[in-house]
Chains A and B, each alone.
Chain A
Amino acid sequence: MRAHFSRSGFLEGVRDIAPMMLGMVPFGMVCGVGAVAAGASPIAALAMSMIMFSGAAQIVATQMLVAGAPFGVILLSCLVVSLRLLMYSAAMAPYLRPLDHRWRNLLSFVLTDQAFARTIQRFRKSDDLRFNASYFLGSGAFTWVSWQLATVLGIAAGRIIPASWDLEFVVPLCFLAVLAPVLRDRVSVLVFVVATAAVIALDSMPLRLSMVCGGLLGIAAGMLGDKLRDERG
């Protein structure tokens, strides 16, 4: 374990992900509130955040539990909202390959939308594996701890942040902060345009399948764009 740990990498990961937590706190609180509303004990509500560690899956699970959905249907729905994690896992795989299995398991456990967005660019820019793996661990660990604190706050105090503040809007802004700066070449802009059109057109799909399908169409457009660019020389 220690061979791959860099203290400065870990701390930089924490520092870079910290602003994102402003938007995740209200979301984590909603998950705590939702779990209690679904009849979970405070311990179970916290365990949900600790073990599932996915806002989308937690909200789907608790809402379907309240609606009285069958157990298997709830599991299947949670699998559907977790499909995007497969894409993150695939995109990260080549970079994590040289690590030992304990590092790979640990980093997989903390692979979230946020940690992925912040970390993947770093892996692409530099090949300092020790620093990058620790950066990933720092951003993931900080996200996990913040998520638990937000859940506890939700369980104990309810929705204390007024909805009118729209603090949840910080979440898309954080992703925008990672997305906008990479839109500097034609193929990336093409991926953005196609994914935008697709995710809007497919919005009526259940379980936010529009997200994965829109993403896949964007990726297909990007591959086509790469091919056209290469053919033109």
Chain B
Amino acid sequence: MDRQLAIWLLIFGVGAITFTARLSFIALFARRRMPPLLAEALKHVPVAMLTAIVVPAVVFAPAGVLRLDPGNLKLIAAILAGAVAWWTKSAVATIVVGMGALWVLRYFLG
């Protein structure tokens, strides 16, 4: 297949997949009732999924190599930023502390 044609087919194919995934349950439960057990489960989606996104980005440095020691500067920066987030609930403060800690630690230790 011609490369350009393949790319355009992929764009619309994958676009249909991502949009369908996003719309799926929103469309499904627009008309019918959600089973109570599912509603119970969904309460935990934010904490569970945010954890599943954040943790690998912090503890694997580089990708695939688990680093739970203080030599992993991203881990130290994330712990400090997490504490700030817990106290202040501010996204800006969390970013400033997290990036600031990473850059300062790297300057002195990296």
> Using a CB–CB distance below 8 Å, which chain A residues touch chain B?
16, 19-20, 22-23, 38-41, 44, 47-48, 51-54, 57-58, 61, 65, 71, 74-75, 78-79, 82-94, 96-97, 101, 104-105, 107-109, 111, 113, 116-117, 120-121, 166-167, 169-183, 187-188, 191-192, 195-196, 198-200, 203-204, 210-212, 214-219, 222-223, 226
Contact = CB atoms under 8 A, between A and B. Distances in A.
Nearest to B85: A180
Contacts of B78: 172-173, 176
Contact of A219 (B12, B41, B74, B89): B41
A200 B55 contact: yes
Leading 4 A-B pairs by shortest Cβ distance: A218-B48, A222-B44, A180-B85, A51-B15
Contacts, number: 272
Dominant secondary structure at the A interface: helix
Contacts of B24: 85-86, 89-90
B14 A61 contact: yes
B108 interface: no
Interface in B36-71: 38-60, 64, 66
Nearest to B78: A176
Nearest to B60: A203
A214 B52 CA distance: 6
Given A19-B91, A174-B94, A174-B95, A109 B19 contact: yes
Given A71-B10, A219-B48, 10 more contacts: A78-B14, A84-B49, A87-B42, A93-B34, A104-B23, A169-B77, A170-B95, A171-B57, A172-B78, A218-B51
Determine the main DSSP class of B at the interface with A.
helix
B98 A91 contact: no
26 contacts: A39-B7, A40-B7, A44-B7, A44-B11, A52-B11, A65-B7, A93-B34, A113-B49, A166-B74, A169-B74, A172-B54, A172-B58, A172-B78, A176-B54, A176-B85, A177-B91, A179-B82, A179-B85, A180-B94, A200-B55, A203-B56, A215-B45, A215-B51, A219-B45, A222-B44, A222-B48
B10 to A, nearest CB: 6
